[in-house]
Amino acid sequence: MARLISLLVICFLGLAACTDTGPSTLGSDGKPLPKAYKIRGNPATLQFRMLDSVNALRQASGLAPVQLNAQLNAAAATHARDMSVQNRPWHFGSDGSSPIDRAVRAGYPGVFLGEAISETYETEVETLAAWMEEPGPRSVILDPKAVNMGFAWFQENNGKIWWALEMGG
């Protein structure tokens, strides 16, 4: 009898795992709406994942790899947070600073080459794919003079992510 009860309990638990956990929110096209990507874990892991992705794209284009740079990371982090404060993705800081100004303030000793920015709920890989579709960010990421990269983000409580990627030579 105990075996039969145990078997029934296992079957019920198995069926319970297969049930729908509730209604999903559907978009106007009838498909489930995407969920916001929540950044968790060590920030360096995400930075190195982006670095690996950028270097794979650069290698496929016959370009030398870039390395993460602490000063460019700092400039990117400052700007990602500032874009959130301004609630708009653009290249100028709330104090009027340009991307070059932020790299100099952060102590970057090289030549600043460009910046890619985004406001999204998507992952870093989806964001990189979107940047590669646009001529401006694509040329920054694939700049042959680039040797350094900075990458950072700021995620709001609602899930919105402000991404900033900096390239230097």
- Asked if residue 87 is part of any domain, the answer here is yes
10 is a domain residue: no
Quick check: is 38 in a domain? no
pLDDT of residue 88: 82
pLDDT at 154: 95
**pLDDT at residue number 87:** 87
Q: Within a domain: residue 115?
A: yes
Sign of the CA dihedral running 57, 60, 66, 68: positive
For residue 28, what pLDDT is reported?
Answer: 66
Domain that includes residue 67, residue range: 43-168
Strand residues in 19-169 grouped as ranges (E): 67-68, 112-120, 148-155, 161-168
Q: Residue 53: inside a domain, yes or no? A: yes
Indicate whether 160 belongs to any domain. Answer: yes
Using CA atoms, how far apart are residues 6 and 37, in angstroms rounded to an integer? 39
Residue 16 lies in a domain: no
Mean pLDDT by 10 residues, the chain (169 residues): 46 46 58 66 85 98 98 97 91 92 97 96 93 97 98 93 97
33: in domain: no
CATH number at residue 128: 3.40.33.10
> What pLDDT, on a 0 to 100 scale, did the predictor assign at position 13?
43
User: How many domains are there within the chain?
Assistant: 1
